[in-house]
A and B are shown apart, each in its own frame.
Chain A
Amino acid sequence: MSETVTSPLSRTFHAEEKRLLQECIHCGFCLPACPTYMENGKEMDSPRGRLHLMESLLEGRMNLDSAFEEHMKLCLVCRACETACPSGVQFGHLMEATRQSIAEVKQKGRLERFLLQTVLPSHRWLSFLFTITRVIQILRLDKLSTVPPLSLLVPKKLRQLQLSLPTVPPRRFGRSYDVHYRAIRKQRGTVTLFTGCVMDHLFPHVHTATVRLLTWHGYDVTIPSDQACCGALHAHAGEKSMTSFLADQNISILDNCNSDYIVINSAGCGSHLKSYLTYIDSGISSRVVDLSELLAVIEMKPKAIGPTDPVAYDEPCHLLHGQGISTQPKTILEKIPEINLVPLKGSDRCCGSAGSYSITETEMSLKLLDAKMDDIEASGAAIVVTANPGCQMQLNWGVKRRGINVEVLHLAELLDKCFRIDPSYPTDPLVLD
């Protein structure tokens, strides 16, 4: 690689990134693992092709043109290629570095910048916008915006976002003060729960279920008040300064809680924070675990009875590929007495949610969602279990689009339902002041 060439990528591709790029030996094992390649059959939309483009740009053999940008944007960053790669090429990291370079050269749209820089990092903004959405949903105005003439007034991307959103709950999970929940019966240890942004506002019931499960299994649970968005979406979009700002803010808060574990129940946040921690080499990285990692090592209490309906597990990419967690959630599900687990073909393939991808790359996202829904229907599952808010929204939307009778649950929700058969299981976790 010639050092004299100044490439638009050279600002974010340092010696380490260049070395990582060299680890790709072009074997092509990643091609069939890539959802976009399998969908359109184009090498530019495969991991190997994208790495080849990065290398060509770095070598000054091409310009950062719209074609380059398009193929980088079409990547889901699902990281399935990392699982497939025999050489362990850290594709996700290289893609984030590439997108940082693109972000430096090409400014994003106003709406995207507003969402990333202003809305996501702020619980106030999120509360405000979700409250408006809730009102719109209650008044059924969201349906109205799909028919002319209103549909002509509302931007397409916004309509898409509205349609795919679940029913917005009345209030978010987090509070403006720290909340502590006490372990039920014998104390086993302490946990800090990371609550995130979308999860906090749209899936508070998943957090509640998580807290009930943890306290029931003997953990004191702390919810620090000042936590913010993890910054995964910013990293995917190449927003370097906001990514570091959010990660540092969260890490300093989590670092202050002297708990045994920092539990994350959103695969996307977990994957992002874990890899961020690896790069900055923070002391807390050994304590950050996905909920399923923790639940897999503790003995689940036996009274739980599984649902009689067939259950399928769809693996979130950022759990399976991002964190290498696959057996834990499966083992937990298998241990539920009388559960009827059915295999799901393509459960390791992205559903097309991928953070904001469903809004930015709607066409590809819907193709992947359709393929996923075909597999779900073929599996005969009545309940689909996932472990990530993005997947949960996307799959729910897939169910709504098809009008089929399938329930989409977070692993914590399913377990919580199973444990409720026990009369001593808490309906509300004990709050300590």
Chain B
Amino acid sequence: MEVKTALIRDLESLLGKERVISHPTELLVYECDGLTLSRHGADAVVLPESTEEVSRIVKCCQGHQVPFLARGSGTGLSGGAVAAEGGVIVQMSRMATIIEIDYDDEVAVVQPGVINLHLSEATRPDGYHYAPDPSSQKACTIGGNVAENAGGPHTLKYGVTANHILGMTVVMPDGEIINMGGRHESILGYDLVGLFVGSEGTLGIVTEIIVKLTRNPESSKTFLASFNTVEAASNSVSSIIAAGIIPAALELIDALVIQAVESHLKAGFPQDVAAILLIEIEGLNATLSAQAGEIRNICHTHGATDFKEAKSEPERAQLWRGRKEAIGALGKVTPAFYTNDGVVPRSKLPEILEFDIETGKRNGLQVAHLCHAGDGNIHPIILYDHENETETKAAMKTSREILQRCIDLGGALSGEHGIGTEKLTSFSFMFNKTDEAQMMAVRSALSPSGKLNPSKIFPTGAKCGESKIRKTVAGGGWL
């Protein structure tokens, strides 16, 4: 039986009953995002339709002293869009309008709930696209991309989300509405846009975003290179980068992932190989052939067994569908998996891939790879059975060992998924107490009450939720 609290009644008077979700059954679906093992119940979910409404919701939550956070499509893989300490989820799915497309200034103004791919689809006929293309681009929102500073295969050439955001309208943790940045690059004052992008929704709720539009390349070529060992594939990646070539995308996919993809999606990946590289180059038509030849040579030098070009747009699209939806396809081969988001300097790629597989073996688990190889974002995927406690613990151990190794090699905890609730315990691998205190000082200045998206990013900043999380980690149920 649902008992409406004063908070719910106030939210309903702001938005109407239809836009406030508070029934316990309905709230269950908001308990996790793309990371299913980190589950936390919210007290309410609200669906605002304007910046002003978001502001009123924020003020209402502060008035009731309850935590709150924004959520897009919930495709994130670090548990960033769950109510770790309960409270209110501000669901942005009804703020999904492309407000303006301006080709003269090469910008678009969008609401945060706009699906990443929808913006590129809207501008494609006119020869433009929105460059950051996370694998979940078919479903993730641009607001979520801003929060996590999302990457994607083509960020190798074009840069991550932060490189494509010019300005934003933000509802601050006290409900104040502020504008930052604009339609052009600016170097004056503090770079607030830079601060907010990647802040994992802990500093404010973005309600309008000015993004750069990127002109489509004159020409592009997509290649599929096959290898009999993962090592040969990763050595090719290092050599391509060392040769001074910057492909638009350079992805490594290993046999386990190929098997999952081909069991349902059928992208056309060869099934009798250890690894493939999906390589895309783009630019002026005249320059591509020489570059293609050079890449082909490098791959063959490292023992590529096959090197072929996608012959048509549908063939190219199918290869990319295979790559981008591979994570989802893993449901076919394993009851559960955990995607590690570690990063290493590109030269260390062969070393870390070998280490991952060895570590998995040592812990009795299989580790698959789906790497944004070009920028060293390795994405080892640890396969396990979530109903088997020993395996779950082993998976957690494997992931921590891999992350530790990434850091030792001069890399990072996360390339694009963020820390969220997921990497709280490994935060200290990368940041010391002073680093954390500096970041916490920024957060405390902007969000003094700490009610906005608590228990994310910082292990010591977390309050009651943190002990809950830690406890589950110790029990092996959470990863």
A61 x B28 contact (CB < 8 A): yes
Q: Bound state CA distance, A65 and B2, in angstroms?
A: 12
Interface membership of A286, Cβ < 8 A: no
**Residue pair A86, B34 in contact (C-beta under 8 Å):** no
B332 at the A/B interface (Cβ < 8 Å)?
yes
**Cβ–Cβ contact B136 & A25, under 8 A:** no
- Residue in B26, B30, B337 whose CB lies within 8 Å of A25: B337
User: Does A166 belong to the interface (CB within 8 Å)?
Assistant: no
Q: Is the CB of A53 within 8 A of B28?
A: yes
Say yes or no: A27-B34 contact (C-beta < 8 A), given A84-B138, A86-B264.
yes
Instruction: Indicate if B23 sits at the interface (CB-CB under 8 A).
Output: yes
Q: Are A41 and B264 in contact (CB under 8 A)?
A: no
Instruction: Flag if B36 contacts A86 (CB, 8 Å).
Output: no
CB distance from A228 to the nearest CB of B (A): 34
In the complex, chain A residues whose CB is within 8 Å of the CB of B335: 22
Contact check: which of B25, B73, B336, B387 meets A65 at CB < 8 Å?
Answer: B25
Contacts A41-B93, A52-B29, A87-B330: A28 and B136 contacting too (C-beta < 8 A)? yes
Q: Is the CB of A41 within 8 A of B91?
A: yes
- Contact: A53 with B25, CB < 8 Å? yes
B139 interface residue per 8 A CB criterion: yes
Alpha-carbon distance between A88 and B261 when the two chains are bound, in angstroms: 10
Q: Which of A24, A68, A84, A85 is B25 in contact with, Cβ under 8 Å?
A: A68
Indicate with 1 or 0, residue by residue over A4-36, a CB within 8 angstroms of chain B CB atoms: 000000000000000000111111111110000
A363 to chain B, nearest CB (A): 11
In the complex formed, the residue of B with least CB distance to A89 is B331
Among candidates B139, B265, B387, residue contacting A32 with C-beta atoms closer than 8 Å: B139
Q: Assess whether A377 is interfacial by the CB under 8 Å rule.
A: no
A87 touches B331 (CB 8 A): yes
Among A25, A30, A84, chain B packs the most CB atoms within 10 A around the CB of: A25
Q: Which of B94, B329, B331 makes the CB contact (< 8 A) with A22?
A: B331
Tell whether, in the assembled complex, residue A44 and residue B328 are in contact, meaning their CB atoms are under 8 Å apart. Answer: no
Residues of B within 8 A of A71 (CB): 26
B330 touches A25 (CB 8 A): yes
- Interface 1/0s, chain B 95-107, versus A by CB < 8 A? 0100000000000
A400 near B: Cβ within 8 Å? no
Contacts of A65 in B (CB 8 A): 25
Q: How many residues on the B side are at the interface (Cβ–Cβ under 8 A)?
A: 45
Task: Name the distance in Å between A347's Cβ and chain B's nearest Cβ.
Answer: 14
Nearest Cβ distance between residue A345 and chain B, in whole angstroms?
Answer: 10
Shortest distance in angstroms between B283's beta carbon and chain A's nearest beta carbon? 29
Question: 1/0 per residue A362-385: CB within 8 Å of B?
Answer: 000000000000000000000000
Q: Quick check: B328 and A85 within 8 Å, CB to CB?
A: yes
* B residues in contact with A84, CB < 8 Å: 138
- Contact at A25–B328, with CB atoms within 8 Å? yes
> How far does the alpha carbon of A85 sit from the alpha carbon of B326 in the complex, in Å?
11
CA distance A1 to B24 in the complex (A): 20
Asked, given contacts A43-B29, A86-B325, whether A28 binds B139 with beta carbons under 8 Å apart, the answer is: yes
Q: Which residues of A contact B25 (CB under 8 A)?
A: 53, 56, 62-63, 65, 67-68
Interface residues of B in 317-344 (CB under 8 A from A): 325-332, 335-337
A-chain residues with CB within 8 Å of residue B336 when the two chains form the complex: 25
Which of chain A's residues have a CB closer than 8 A to the CB of B140? 28
Q: CA–CA, A23 to B117, complex, Å?
A: 25
Alpha-carbon distance A31/B45, docked complex (angstroms): 17
A25 with B74: CB separation less than 8 A: no
> In whole angstroms, what is the CA distance A357 to B139 when docked?
26
A31 in contact with B139 given A53-B25, A68-B25 (CB within 8 Å): yes
- Distance (Å) between the CB of B477 and the closest chain A CB? 14
Per the bound structure, the CA–CA distance linking A400 and B140 in Å amounts to 37
- Shortest C-beta distance, B49 to chain A (Å), equals 9
Q: CB-nearest residue of chain B relative to A87? A: B331
**Interface residues as binary, B221-233 with A (CB distance below 8 Å gives 1, 0 otherwise):** 0000000000000
Please report which residues of chain B, range 73-99, place their CB below 8 angstroms from some CB of chain A when the two chains form the complex.
Answer: 73-75, 91, 93-94, 96
A49: Cβ under 8 A from any B Cβ: yes
B331 touches A44 (CB 8 A): no
A44 touches B74 (CB 8 A): no
Q: Is the CB of B28 within 8 A of A24?
A: no
Known: A22-B335, A41-B47, A41-B91. A29 touches B138 (CB 8 A): yes
Q: Given A43-B30, A53-B29, A62-B28: A31 and B73 within 8 A (CB)? A: yes
* B47 partner residues in chain A, CB cutoff 8 A: 41-42
Contact of B136 among A1, A27, A37, A48 (CB under 8 A): A27
Which A-chain residue is minimally distant from B263 (CB atoms)?
A88
Q: Is the CB of A86 within 8 A of B26?
A: no
- Which residues of A sit under 8 angstroms from B45, Cβ to Cβ? 43
Residues of B within 8 A of A68 (CB): 25
Chain A residues with Cβ under 8 A from B331's Cβ? Answer: 22-25, 86-87, 89
Q: List 25 A-B contacts (CB under 8 A).
A: A1-B387, A22-B331, A25-B327, A25-B330, A25-B336, A25-B337, A26-B34, A26-B36, A27-B136, A28-B74, A29-B139, A30-B139, A31-B75, A41-B47, A41-B93, A41-B94, A43-B30, A48-B29, A52-B28, A68-B25, A71-B26, A84-B138, A87-B332, A88-B332, A89-B331
Residues of B within 8 A of A (CB): 21, 23-26, 28-30, 32-34, 36, 45, 47, 73-75, 91, 93-94, 96, 113, 115, 117-118, 136, 138-140, 261, 263-265, 325-332, 335-337, 387
Interface positions of A (Cβ within 8 A of B): 1, 22-32, 37, 41-44, 46, 48-49, 52-53, 56, 61-63, 65, 67-68, 71, 84-89
6 more A-B residue pairs beyond the given contacts A29-B136, A42-B47, A84-B138, with a C-beta to C-beta distance below 8 A: A23-B332, A25-B337, A26-B34, A27-B136, A41-B47, A68-B25
